[in-house]
């Protein structure tokens, strides 16, 4: 029976989640508002300067959101193995009372400590049935993709309902006995995937979507009334097409990053 949790459960978990959120909001306001005020004081064109400030604000907000999401998942995802070698993934966030809003979400570490230190998981793992029918059981690992701060695990799982499916877990680096956990996951690699990985066409789709999006953006700029190089009649169709292309581009980028 083995349980893997994030290293050094932080006593300042709430602060590590809340402070970046507050900081990103304040930074976004400062960048957007500060850019407009600076343009007005210096007599610069307000519209492009404000647009640049808003773009920077959105970039930093997205960066902070990704960092907070990674931190939240690291603190909530528990891997455990029973005496029969069955491997399970437990997401502690599903035990949180979300009706308590943000405060309830910040109690993740308390839930993790109750599951691990309180002996809840150990008690279930000690039974013959284990966590079968209660948590996702990892039956096979199709792919392990190492990124800078995490491993993307594409797994075949048995859901508590008894149905089977594919699930991607983000194993953020920094778990207790992490090498042992990775070894347990490697043992579940399916033979066909060890021999030959399926062809990955997502980089090609990302390239095609990026080129198409760049072309649409260029057409939008050239057909904008302020530029007037091309006919204004194609401005809105190109704008709508660029907006539509953004979604498949993000879809393929996310799937590529997660190793799916």
68: its two tokens: 């907070």
pLDDT digits (tens, 9 = 90+) for 197-243: 567 788 999 999 999 999 999 999 899 887 888 998 999 999 999 99
Confidence at residue 103, expressed as pLDDT on a 0 to 100 scale: 62
| Residue 162 region by backbone torsions, left for phi larger than 0, else alpha for psi between -120 and 50, else beta | left
Confidence at residue 93, expressed as pLDDT on a 0 to 100 scale: 74
Of 164, 163, 183, 166, the C-alpha closest to 79 is 183
Confidence at residue 46, expressed as pLDDT on a 0 to 100 scale: 81
Question: What percentage of the chain reaches a pLDDT higher than 90?
Answer: 28
Instruction: Please state the rounded mean pLDDT for residues 2-16.
Output: 70
pLDDT digits (tens, 9 = 90+) for 151-166: 989 898 898 888 888 8
Tokens 């907070």 sit on residue: 68
Does the pTM surpass 0.75? The reply is: no
Reported as half-sphere exposure (CB side, CA atoms, 13 A), residue 38 has a value of 12
Question: What percentage of the chain reaches a pLDDT higher than 70?
Answer: 84
Could you tell me if 156 and 142 are in contact, meaning their C-beta atoms sit under 8 angstroms apart? yes
DSSP conformation class of 246: H
- Give the count of beta carbons closer than 10 Å to the beta carbon of residue 73: 18
- Measured distance CA(151)–CA(97) in Å, rounded: 28
Q: Where are the beta strands (DSSP E) in 6-102?
A: 77-81, 87-91
Q: Is 165 exposed, middle or buried (0-12, 13-18, 19+ CB in 10 A)?
A: exposed
pLDDT at 12 over 70: no
Confidence at residue 161, expressed as pLDDT on a 0 to 100 scale: 86
Instruction: Please state the rounded mean pLDDT for residues 184-195.
Output: 73
- Measured distance CA(195)–CA(203) in Å, rounded: 22
Could you tell me if 125 and 137 are in contact, meaning their C-beta atoms sit under 8 angstroms apart? no
DSSP conformation class of 199: P
pLDDT band, very low/low/confident/very high, at 195 (cuts 50, 70, 90): very low
Edge-to-edge order in the sheet of strand 164-172: 2-4, 77-81, 87-91, 136-146, 150-158, 164-172
Q: Is 205 exposed, middle or buried (0-12, 13-18, 19+ CB in 10 A)?
A: middle
- Give the count of beta carbons closer than 10 Å to the beta carbon of residue 41: 8
Confidence at residue 238, expressed as pLDDT on a 0 to 100 scale: 93
pLDDT digits (tens, 9 = 90+) for 15-46: 777 787 788 888 888 988 898 898 888 888 88
Angle at 131 between CA 129 and CA 132, to 5 degrees: 65
């Amino acid at each position: 029976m083995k349980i893997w949790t994030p290293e050094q459960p932080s006593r300042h978990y709430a602060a590590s989640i809340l402070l970046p959120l507050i900081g990103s909001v304040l930074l976004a306001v400062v960048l957007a508002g500060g850019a407009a005020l600076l343009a007005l004081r210096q007599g610069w064109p307000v519209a492009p300067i404000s647009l640049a400030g808003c773009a920077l604000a959105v970039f930093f907000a997205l960066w902070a959101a990704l960092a907070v999401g990674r931190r939240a998942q690291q603190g909530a995802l528990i891997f455990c193995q029973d005496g029969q070698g069955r491997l399970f993934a437990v997401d502690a966030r599903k035990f949180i009372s979300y009706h308590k809003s943000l405060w309830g979400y910040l109690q993740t570490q308390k839930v993790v400590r109750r599951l691990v230190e309180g002996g809840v998981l150990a008690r279930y793992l000690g039974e013959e049935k284990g966590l079968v029918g209660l948590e996702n059981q990892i039956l096979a690992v199709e792919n392990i993709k190492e990124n800078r701060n995490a491993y993307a695990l594409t797994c075949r799982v048995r859901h508590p309902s008894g149905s089977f499916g594919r699930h991607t877990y983000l194993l953020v680096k920094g778990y207790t006995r992490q090498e042992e956990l990775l070894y347990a996951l490697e043992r579940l690699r399916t033979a066909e995937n060890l021999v030959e990985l399926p062809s990955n066409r997502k980089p090609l789709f990302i390239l095609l979507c990026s080129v198409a999006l760049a072309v649409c953006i260029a057409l939008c700029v050239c057909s904008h009334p302020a530029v007037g190089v091309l006919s204004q009649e194609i401005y809105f169709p190109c704008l709508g097409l660029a907006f539509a292309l953004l979604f498949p581009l993000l879809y393929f980028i996310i799937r590529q990053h997660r190793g799916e």
